[in-house]
Amino acid sequence: MLIAYLGVMVLIGITLYLLVYGGFKEAMLSVVLTFFAAIYLLIKLVDAN
């Protein structure tokens, strides 16, 4: 569970990095990936409880 949480944090960090240093297209791809990762994490949390 902690590993999944860290993974989402890393994805958010990569997204922010791309927004600042990369292009808009790359950042949007990362935002979509982070969005799906967050939904996956929420589903896992609901299943655990």
30-46 pLDDT, tens per residue? 788 878 888 888 888 78
What does the alpha-carbon distance between residue 31 and residue 18 come to, in Å, rounded to a whole number?
10
pTM exceeding 0.85: no
State the chain's mean pLDDT as an integer: 78
For 14, 15, 42, the CA distances from 9, given in Å and listed in that order, are: 9, 10, 14
Number of domains in the chain: 1
Contact 15, 38 (CB under 8 A): no
Which among 38, 35, 9 is positioned nearest to 17, based on CA atoms?
9
Q: What is the pLDDT of residues 1-17, one digit of tens each?
A: 677 778 778 877 877 78
Confidence of residue 19 (pLDDT cuts 50, 70, 90): confident
Higher pLDDT: 37 or 49? It is 37
What pLDDT does 1 receive?
66
Query: Which range marks the domain in which residue 27 is found?
Result: 2-48
